[in-house]
Amino acid sequence: MLNCHKATRLMSEAQDRPLTLNEKLALKVHTLMCSACSNFEKQLPALRRMARTFARQQPPAGDKPDKDRK
């Protein structure tokens, strides 16, 4: 049985790779019993979109002038 840490990790990994059948089943069982992880799974696509938008708006670390670095 998955704990919440492993479940959320699998949810994140599912954004980048297909999960195995065993991983999918274990995740489904966990999210049926855990409302916190179920909510996280529903919010994950929005979190991913926000992170991508933020990353596109940030200049690369080497492009910042020295006076702006802290």
Mind listing the pLDDT tens digit for each residue in 23-54?
999 999 999 999 999 999 999 999 999 998 99
Question: What integer is the mean pLDDT of 8-24?
Answer: 96
Residue 39 to residue 12: CA distance in whole angstroms: 13
> What's the pLDDT score for residue 67?
59
Nearest to 40 by CA among 18, 9, 70, 66: 9
Per-residue DSSP letter, 15: T
pTM of the model: 0.71
pLDDT band at 19 (very low <50, low <70, confident <90, very high): very high
Going from N- to C-terminal start, the domains of the chain cover 4-54
